[in-house]
Amino acid sequence: MADFGSTGTITIRVNHVASELRVSAGEYLAFKLTVEGASPIFVFACTHNTRLSAEQFPGHPKQVYEWTLCRQTPGAAGIPNENSDGADDTYVVVMHFAAAIKYTLVIEQRDRNNQLIQTLKDIDFESKAPEDKFPEGLRVVQV
């Protein structure tokens, strides 16, 4: 039986459902979405609105998409940074399998010096059914 949709499977290496983020101390989240297959279709959103979609990234379509949340210092060129609009919010990456067949989502909590604090998610999502989609969420509480 599929983990999601008609043929979807999930391989979990790390999967925290929530994180406390000390934004005042310079902590931020780093997102990396690696794609296999043709042109990916995904969106990054919070409870309030859609924040990023695949076609907004320079070089789309590509194999690796990176962005940050609440980073206070400049990151590498071409890596968007989204700011939070709430102290307690849920963020989600919704992946569609119409063209891409595998996504690997890694979310890391990092300090102001870009050092890893902890990996919050490291998960593979695979499906060969073009109608399949999957939303992976993370609750973020700023302390």
d(CA 120, CA 17): 8
**59 domain-assigned:** yes
> Please, are residues 42 and 33 in contact by the beta-carbon 8 Å criterion?
yes
Report the pLDDT value the prediction gives residue 123, as an integer from 0 to 100.
Answer: 98
**76 domain-assigned:** yes
Q: Tell me the per-residue pLDDT of 55-74, one tens digit each, with 9 for 90 and over.
A: 999 999 999 999 999 999 88
Residue 78, sorted as left (phi over 0), alpha (psi -120 to 50) or beta, turns out to be left
**87 domain-assigned:** yes
**4 domain-assigned:** no
**65 domain-assigned:** yes
**1 domain-assigned:** no
Closest of 138, 57, 42, 44 to residue 97, by C-alpha: 42
Report the pLDDT value the prediction gives residue 22, as an integer from 0 to 100.
Answer: 97
Low-confidence ranges of the chain (pLDDT < 50): none
**53 domain-assigned:** yes
**108 domain-assigned:** yes
Question: Which domain, by its residues, includes 44?
Answer: 9-142
Going from the C-alpha of 60 to that of each of 32, 63, 65, 76, the distances in angstroms are 14, 9, 9, 17
Closest of 80, 68, 79, 67 to residue 26, by C-alpha: 68
Q: How many domains does the chain have?
A: 1
Q: What is the pTM of this model?
A: 0.96
Report the pLDDT value the prediction gives residue 117, as an integer from 0 to 100.
Answer: 98
